[in-house]
């Protein structure tokens, strides 16, 4: 035993140089029981058991659905929000990053929400997207010469028809998803993800967001982000679209400061959601005529056209217009991938590449590289990679991934291999000394 202990002493010195000193761990009284029954987080034994990825319940299972609130007409219970979300909101409020402006009020006639005390929705204090006021950093237009394809409200009645068409045409799009719809339609959601489509947020219950309290805004965004996160191997959405286009400086700031989300609106509206109404606000012929006009017009700015997957009729209007998009000299692509140079999520480039293992609040500090031929980690087993900062506008760093630092070595690093072996010997020596 003494020989083994003496042999391990040089390795203990090596462990100190690799992982830092552990002078506070005194082993003078070899036979005394330890004062606590766990190792401190910095102890080298943790290298033996540290997990490099995250695992999530099977999509559609009871375990997967547990913990999520129901959908409309119920609203999420804000008293049950995860503490990390509330803490992030409180921090943003304390930093005065969230404007202190009043909530809007739903109009009794179903029209646009209004603000109390005669506040101007187009004024600099409010800047409501419902009233077409554009907040710096919000996205209304696409890059010149592009058509960014996206669909709202899925998974819904038209989703299967839409996905069948997209699959047959090898076309990827962005889905702005209602979180409670994912809860009730997991198979359709999984099919979207397997198609390679980009997944974004459209709230949990589809309310006018400017009528919601700060905590309600956090709930609507957070639960939708979380269910996407837990259903895609840990990916965190990068974009959200407000229902009815209803956002203002307060709501936009909460989305950005708490969850790192960028607000996306649109510059053309098909009104296709109304096609199944008793008195629709548009028709298939009118949508086709509008598409011809938009696609035949100037290519600056790029087109961000509001479309929905709520019905077979709304999807059919897109299918009819798709050949026009192909024939008009536009670059056609998923909206999310167009907006950020092929980086579709906050912590991953796409649906098949490397995932930075972070939660939905920490994701705003994760940067990812553009996908390349070597990026092919399966979605169900996201890989660990270096986490770097992004700038204040939350634009992803599209440069190659940084070299791993000493504090976060890659899984192939000789230093980590040495550290793990050393840690094992250290643990053995500690055990022998206690005997």
pLDDT one-digit tens code per residue, 148-202: 999 999 999 999 999 999 999 999 999 999 999 999 999 999 999 999 999 999 9
Q: Are 158 and 132 in contact (CB under 8 A)?
A: no
As a dihedral over the C-alpha atoms of residue 338, residue 188, residue 74, residue 76, rounded to 10 degrees, the angle is -50
Beta bridge partners of residue 174, listed in sequence order: 150, 198
**Choosing from 161, 229, 308, 350, which is the catalytic residue?**
308
Is the pLDDT at 225 greater than 80? The verdict is yes
- Of 301 and 430, the structure prediction assigns the larger pLDDT to 301
| Residue that has been written with the tokens 């009871």 in this structure | 62
Q: Residues near 90 by Cβ (< 8 Å), separated by ≥ 6?
A: none
Q: Closest Cα partner for 39 from 414, 384, 431, 435?
A: 431
What's the rounded Cα separation, in Å, for the pair 128 and 241? Answer: 14
What's the rounded Cα separation, in Å, for the pair 177 and 323? Answer: 25
* pLDDT tens-digit map of 3-17: 444 444 444 444 333
Residue 43 annotated among the catalytic residues of the structure: no
Token pair of 348 as six digits = 């991953």
Percentage of the chain modeled with pLDDT above 90: 69
Q: Are 328 and 295 in contact (CB under 8 A)?
A: yes
**Choosing from 138, 152, 153, 246, which is the catalytic residue?**
152
Angle at which helix 159-168 crosses helix 312-327, to 10 degrees, equals 30
Find the angle CA(21)-CA(27)-CA(31) to the nearest 5 degrees. 160
Q: Closest Cα partner for 256 from 238, 244, 236, 243?
A: 238
Using pLDDT thresholds of 50, 70 and 90, give the confidence band for residue 399.
Answer: very low
| Residue that has been written with the tokens 């800047």 in this structure | 127
The predicted model scores a pTM of: 0.75
What's the rounded Cα separation, in Å, for the pair 89 and 221? Answer: 12
What's the rounded Cα separation, in Å, for the pair 177 and 180? Answer: 9
Alpha-carbon distances of 71 from 86, 184, 206, rounded to whole Å: 21, 9, 9
Is the pLDDT at 310 greater than 60? The verdict is yes
Q: What is the pLDDT of residue 10?
A: 45
| Residue that has been written with the tokens 């006021």 in this structure | 133
Average pLDDT over residues 247-251: 98
What's the rounded Cα separation, in Å, for the pair 273 and 162? Answer: 14
Residue 39 annotated among the catalytic residues of the structure: no
């Amino acid at each position: 035993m003494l020989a083994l202990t003496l042999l391990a002493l040089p390795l203990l010195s090596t462990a100190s140089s690799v992982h830092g000193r552990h002078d506070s761990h005194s082993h003078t009284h070899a036979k005394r029981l330890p004062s606590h029954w766990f190792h401190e987080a910095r102890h080298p034994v943790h290298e033996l058991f540290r997990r490099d990825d995250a695992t999530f319940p099977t999509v559609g299972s009871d375990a997967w659905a547990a913990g999520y609130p129901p959908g409309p007409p119920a609203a999420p219970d804000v008293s049950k929000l995860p503490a990390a979300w509330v803490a992030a909101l409180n921090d943003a409020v304390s930093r005065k990053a969230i404007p202190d402006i009043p909530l809007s009020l739903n109009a009794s006639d179903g029209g646009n929400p209004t603000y109390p005390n005669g506040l101007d929705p187009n004024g600099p204090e409010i800047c409501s997207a419902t009233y077409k006021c554009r907040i710096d950093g919000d996205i209304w237009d696409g890059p010149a010469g592009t058509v960014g394809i996206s669909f709202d409200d899925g998974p819904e009645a038209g989703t299967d028809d839409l996905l069948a068409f997209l699959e047959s045409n090898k076309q990827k799009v962005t889905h702005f998803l209602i979180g409670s719809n994912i809860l009730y339609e997991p198979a359709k959601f999984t099919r979207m993800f397997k198609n390679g489509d980009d997944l974004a947020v459209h709230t949990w219950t589809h309310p006018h967001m400017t009528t919601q309290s700060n905590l309600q805004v956090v709930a609507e965004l957070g639960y939708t982000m979380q269910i996407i996160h837990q259903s895609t191997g840990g990916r965190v959405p990068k974009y959200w679209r407000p229902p009815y286009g209803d956002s203002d400086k307060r709501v936009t700031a909460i989305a950005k400061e708490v969850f790192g989300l960028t607000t996306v609106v649109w510059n053309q509206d098909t009104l296709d959601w109304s096609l199944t109404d008793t008195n629709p606000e548009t028709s298939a012929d009118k949508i086709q005529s509008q598409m011809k006009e938009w696609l035949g017009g100037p290519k600056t700015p790029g087109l961000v056209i509001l479309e929905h997957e709520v019905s077979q009729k709304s999807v059919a209007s897109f299918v009819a217009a798709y050949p026009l998009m192909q024939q008009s000299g536009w670059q056609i692509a998923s909206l999310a991938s167009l907006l950020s140079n092929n980086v579709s999520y906050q912590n991953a480039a796409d649906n098949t590449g490397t995932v930075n293992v972070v939660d939905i609040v920490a994701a705003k500090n994760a940067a990812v590289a553009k996908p390349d031929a070597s990026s092919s980690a399966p979605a169900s087993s996201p890989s660990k990679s270096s986490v770097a900062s992004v700038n204040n506008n939350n634009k992803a760093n599209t440069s190659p991934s940084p070299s791993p630092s000493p504090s976060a070595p890659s899984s192939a690093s000789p230093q980590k291999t040495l550290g793990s072996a050393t840690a094992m010997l250290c643990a053995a020596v500690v055990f022998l000394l206690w005997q």
